[in-house]
Amino acid sequence: MTRPLTVLALMTALVGCGRSGSTSTTMSSDTKPTLIPVQSDDAEMVVAMQTARDRFPEFWREVSADYKRVIPALGGSMVKAYFYDAAAPQSGEHMWVSEVEYDGKTITGVLADTPRQLRSVRPGERVSFPLERLSDWFYVDGGKAVGAFTVRVLRTRMSEGERRAHDSHYPFRFE
């Protein structure tokens, strides 16, 4: 039996993303994130999420180095994780988190999305989770999204027009 997962197809657009108070997450006022139901056994998404976990050290190396720069080189960064209410762990949502920190065991940040049904988390709240709940990550380097593994899978399932519409909401490219 498969259970549906809800995945945000549109990431929260980033403007001037840094650490502690310097992150601004915005979405154009005429656009609401599109939710796409994905089965938990969707092979491409399972691989994309595992790739994100396997390659998280790459993300953290780049992002933590950028935090130390006087003038940040990256155009923003976020991670996506699975959140759920304790009473229904099988009915969660994958949501984006900004202002990411990592201590070698736990990822911490600020919830950048608005939960659709969850009551246990709120936008702007500090959240923490283990690497096992990480489902994606990206950072922007030279105007291009690096990572975004689940987003890339979803983009392959969009028509050309849907991809153009999706991409028009971001100040960076997906390649």
Backbone angles phi, psi at 57, to 5 degrees: -55, -35
Local confidence band at 34 (pLDDT 50, 70, 90 cut-offs): low
pTM over 0.95: no
Average pLDDT over residues 11-25: 32
Residues in the chain: 175
Average pLDDT over residues 82-96: 92
Domain segments of the chain as ranges: 4-167
| Residue 17 in this model has a pLDDT that exceeds 80 | no
Local confidence band at 149 (pLDDT 50, 70, 90 cut-offs): very high
Question: What share of the chain has pLDDT > 90, as a percent?
Answer: 73
| Residue 10 in this model has a pLDDT that exceeds 60 | no
What dihedral angle (degrees, nearest 10) is formed by the CA atoms of 103, 104, 105, 109? 40
Q: Which two three-digit tokens encode residue 157?
A: 């399932």
Query: Which distant-in-sequence residues (6+ apart) come within 8 Å of 35 by Cβ?
Result: 6, 7, 8, 9, 116
Local confidence band at 90 (pLDDT 50, 70, 90 cut-offs): confident
Q: Using DSSP, state whether 32 is helix, strand or coil.
A: coil
Local confidence band at 20 (pLDDT 50, 70, 90 cut-offs): very low
Give Cα 86 distance to the centre of its chain: 22
pLDDT digits (tens, 9 = 90+) for 101-143: 999 999 999 999 999 989 999 999 999 999 999 999 999 999 9
Q: pLDDT at position 33, please?
A: 55
